[in-house]
Amino acid sequence: MLPSNSVITWADLEKQLHKYLFFRVHEKKITDLVRVRQRNDESVESFVQRLRDVKNKCYNLVLDDRHLVDLAFQGLLLHIKDKYASQEFESLSHLV
């Protein structure tokens, strides 16, 4: 049972829920997210889904869409980054 007034915002509730449901799962950090790279045989869609999966385990990390897109773009294979370097992507969906 939680102490009174320990959950005030949705963010508080989310943190408590994650603690309860995932207490044995190791939380990921920004360094884990930065290390996600597209594999040679992996589609952009699969890579972005893997990146989202890691991001979903970064419970205390707050990133806006722009920063997440930048991280994803940096993790793409070089020939794909070169091809789309002049593009501006607004979201991960747009990147895919």
The CATH number of residue 33's host domain is 1.10.1200
Give the model's pLDDT for residue 95.
Answer: 86
User: What CA–CA distance (Å, rounded) separates 96 from 93?
Assistant: 5
pLDDT score, position 91? 86
- The pLDDT profile of the chain, 96 residues, written as one tens digit per residue, is 677 888 889 888 888 887 777 665 678 889 999 999 999 999 999 999 999 999 988 888 888 889 999 999 999 999 999 999 999 888 888 888
- Rounded to two decimals, the pTM is 0.72
Q: Which two tokens stand for residue 62?
A: 């707050």
**Structural domain total, the chain:** 1
The count of residues in the chain is 96
CB-based contacts of 80: which residues, under 8 Å, 6+ apart?
38, 44
Q: Which domain holds residue 56?
A: 25-95
Q: Report the pLDDT value the prediction gives residue 15, as an integer from 0 to 100.
A: 84
What's the pLDDT at 61?
87
Long-range contacts of 67-72 (CB under 8 A, 24+ apart): 68/92, 69/94, 69/95, 71/33, 71/34, 71/36, 72/47, 72/48
- Asked if residue 30 is part of any domain, the answer here is yes
